[in-house]
Amino acid sequence: MDICDIETQHLSAILALNEISVAVLSPLDGPKLTRLVAEAVLAKVIIIDEQVAAFLLAFTANTEYESINYQWFNKKYAQFLYIDRIVVADDFRGQKLASHLYNYLLKWTVDNAIPRLVAEIDIQPPNEASLKFHQKFGFFELEQLVHSEEKIVSLQGKEL
C-alpha cells in the first residue's frame, strides 16, 4: 500500500469523498481544494485498484491557512503538524488505512523534528469514532472551541 502525492487526476475523487463526510469536515470546492493541496506540507492519497481509497491534508505552522481551528494552534505553538483531514472511502473502511496514514504522519513529524501533532475533532455534533481513534494514538484535549451552538470542536494534541 503506497502513499503518493495528490495529483490533478485525484481531485474529483477527493471532492466526492469529502462531500460524503461533510457532516464532520468542512466543505470543499475545486478551487479551495486546489489551494489547500498547494499550501499543505503533506497532501497525500492511497490508491488501491486505481481508486482513491484515502487522502490526507496536513499543514505546518505559519501557513496562510485561514481555518479558525488551525489559527488557534498557530497562535499557541511555534511548531506543529496540523492534521486538517484524513478521509477513507467507504469501500475501503476496515483496512486500517487511517492508521497507516497516521503512522506515516508520525514518522514524518519525527523525521522533521516537529514536536507535536495536532487536530480538531467535532464534539457537537459528536464524532465518536474520530475521538476514539485519536485517543488510541495518544491524543489529548487541549481546549474546546465553540463555533456555534451546533458546532463545537475538541482541539487535540500529541507531544512527540
Share of the chain above pLDDT 70, in %: 100
80 part of a folded domain: yes
The count of structural domains within the chain is 1
39 part of a folded domain: yes
97 part of a folded domain: yes
156, pLDDT greater than 90: yes
CATH number of the domain at 100, please.
Answer: 3.40.630.30
151 part of a folded domain: no
Range of the domain at 32: 3-115
125 part of a folded domain: no
Give 66-109 as a DSSP string: --HHHHHHHHH-SS-EEEEEEEE-GGGTTS-HHHHHHHHHHHHH
What confidence category does residue 114 fall into, taking pLDDT thresholds of 50, 70 and 90? very high
pLDDT value of position 6: 99
127 part of a folded domain: no
25, pLDDT greater than 90: no
33 part of a folded domain: yes
Per-state percent for the chain, helix, strand, coil, to nearest 5: 35, 35, 30
Q: What pTM was estimated for this model as a whole? A: 0.95
51 part of a folded domain: yes
CA 46 – CA 142 distance, rounded (Å): 30
